[in-house]
Amino acid sequence: MKIEDLVGLIGSEFGDEVVDELLHRVRRGFDDALNLIRRPQAALGVVKSPLGNLLVATSARGIALNHFMDAGSDLAATIAHLRLDFDPVEDEKAVGEIGKEVRGYLAGDADALRHHVDLTLAKNPFQQKVLRKLQDVPRGAVVSYQALGAAAGAPRGARAVGNALHNNPVPIYVPCHRVIAAQGRIGGYGGGLPRKLQLLRSEGFAMDNAAKRVPDSVVWGHKVTRIYCRMDCRTTARVDRNRILMFASPQEARRAGMRACKICHPDAPA
Amino acid sequence: MALENSHLPPPFEELMRRHEREIMRYLLRVTGHREDAADLFQETFIRAYRAYPRINPDGNLRSWLYTIATNLCRNRARDSARRSRVIVQSSDDPPPDALGKSHCSPHEDAGYAAVRMRELVSGLPAKQRQSIHLRYFAGFEYAEIAAAMGCSEESARANVSQAMRKLKATW
């Protein structure tokens, strides 16, 4: 017998039955130990939408990831990031519901996005806070980076807000398309500007793909007084801009519970 | 539309099902002791689970598990050596060198040969011992041994060949 074969023999005194018995004995304690450190399971899959294919992950906590697949970002890196907090399992059926909701939403159903949002994948507490505050901005309205920063407790942090939105793990559900630059310019979008414009159009803003600014027909709603005005109302000159939401139309402002200004009469035809 | 496999590694449970018997057998072989093997088995897979998100899904998962198991065996050996250093070796146990060629040739009985071979192997330096376990039990290539032991491919090769030379000389 060759010496290599003899070395291979070591441990052969433990037969299959010993291995089976040990595995059986270990399994119970092992499962208990593993359950203490287990990451939540997430269903992962690709869904089709009018905005292109989306990589979606949902768990019992809600939708954690909604990623534009062709946005030039690295798919492997996105999944690697997801895996730090979740155990993903490919499950097309479980994420199919998201595709239905997104399609319904873009077709005009304002209440289509029913999934709860899970911000586990947000990078840090500040970004989480920005994204949570952003969820208060209603459909049909936009807010500036600066005003959103102020709402999240960082009035001078417009650029930090931009970073938070860039890292938004759940676009569409957390409406980062509703954030625009000061003075009404459109700003940027992680998924590409055409998508931002398409989303805003579906929410009632009259903008074509060449638009550089929000249209002049928007009304300014004040978050504290709950009054909305035309953009050229004389009161807007001295208002605190950090408290302004821009609504696509007077109807949208009324739907958000605001009343018309009695100076500029924003409801009257221009 | 399905995701590519390279992006999503198998679920941990599946990885475990695939390799648990092999790893348990490896630990039994290296430790020669059921309780130790069971302990190390649990620790190996708990560590593997913790680190699973950070490993490259394209990498060799099997050799990665062996690496964890090997490192844990090494830690265990080092710690128990530290604990037992105060115990004076009993004069009844012959030191490993004394188990020399003079010791008859009981080669007919495979069970006995295995036990005796274990004795000889346990007398080898730790690096050589681990290298030959990985080489002749797990069937690793030298590159995989090098990766598992954190050394160069040349020294993996040298460890294995020196170990085999010693074993041949004493058998």
- Dihedral sign from CA coordinates of B17, A40, B59, B7: positive
Same domain as A254, residue A202: yes
* Residue from B159, B130, B115 nearest A12 by CA: B115
Interface test with B, best of A2, A4, A6, A34 (most B CBs within 10 A): A6
The position carrying tokens 């004493």 is: B170
Interface check A89 vs B, CB under 8 A: yes
Q: Do B110 and A19 touch (CB under 8 A)?
A: no
Q: Decide if A114 is inside a domain.
A: no
Chain B residues in contact with A9 (beta carbon < 8 A) = 110, 113-114, 117
Same domain as A20, residue A78: no
Q: Where among A106, A133, A151 does a domain terminate?
A: A106
Question: Which CATH number fits the domain that encloses residue A145?
Answer: 1.10.10.10
Chain B residues in contact with A44 (beta carbon < 8 A) = 3, 8
CA distance A111 to chain B (A): 27
CA distance A76 to chain B (A): 5
Please write the tens of the pLDDT for every residue from B37-69.
Answer: 999 999 999 999 999 998 887 888 999 999 999
Q: If you measure CA to CA, which chain B residue comes closest to A91?
A: B2
Same domain as A141, residue A45: no
Q: Decide if A255 is inside a domain.
A: yes
Same domain as A85, residue A27: no
Same domain as A129, residue A252: yes
Interface check A81 vs B, CB under 8 A: no
Confidence at B85, pLDDT banded by 50, 70, 90: low
Same domain as A72, residue A56: yes
Same domain as A138, residue A252: yes
Q: Decide if A265 is inside a domain.
A: no
CA distance B43 to chain A (A): 9
Report how many domains make up chain A.
3
Q: Do A22 and B164 touch (CB under 8 A)?
A: no
Please write the tens of the pLDDT for every residue from A198-250.
Answer: 999 999 998 888 888 888 889 999 999 999 999 889 998 889 999 999 999 99
Same domain as A45, residue A32: no
Q: Decide if A228 is inside a domain.
A: yes
**pLDDT higher than 50, residue B88:** no
Please write the tens of the pLDDT for every residue from A119-171.
Answer: 999 989 999 999 999 999 999 999 999 999 999 999 999 999 999 999 999 99
Please write the tens of the pLDDT for every residue from B98-153.
Answer: 444 444 444 456 667 777 888 888 888 888 988 988 998 888 999 999 988 889 99
Q: Where among A106, A139, A158 does a domain terminate?
A: A106
- Position B148 scores a pLDDT of 87
Cβ-nearest to A4 among B21, B107, B136 = B136
> Looking at this protein, which amino acid is placed at residue B83?
R
Please give the residue range of the domain that contains residue A130.
125-260
Same domain as A77, residue A30: no
Interface test with B, best of A1, A2, A7 (most B CBs within 10 A): A7
Question: Which CATH number fits the domain that encloses residue A54?
Answer: 3.30.160
Confidence at A73, pLDDT banded by 50, 70, 90: low
Please write the tens of the pLDDT for every residue from A39-68.
Answer: 999 999 999 999 989 999 999 999 999 999
- Position B120 scores a pLDDT of 85
Sheet arrangement for strand A54-59: A62-68, A54-59, A41-47, A87-90
Interface test with B, best of A4, A10, A19 (most B CBs within 10 A): A10
Q: Decide if A10 is inside a domain.
A: yes
Same domain as A102, residue A152: no
Q: Do A18 and B28 touch (CB under 8 A)?
A: yes
Interface check A80 vs B, CB under 8 A: yes
Q: Decide if A195 is inside a domain.
A: yes
The pLDDT > 90 percentage for chain A reads: 64
d(CA A26, CA A12): 20
Interface check A48 vs B, CB under 8 A: yes
The arithmetic mean of pLDDT across residues A188-197, rounded, is 89
Confidence at B7, pLDDT banded by 50, 70, 90: confident
- Position A71 scores a pLDDT of 58
Same domain as A60, residue A47: yes
Interface check A159 vs B, CB under 8 A: no
pTM of the model as a whole = 0.78
Interface check B32 vs A, CB under 8 A: yes
Q: Decide if A120 is inside a domain.
A: no
Residues of A annotated as part of the active site? 176
Same domain as A102, residue A154: no
- Position B169 scores a pLDDT of 87
Q: Decide if A212 is inside a domain.
A: yes
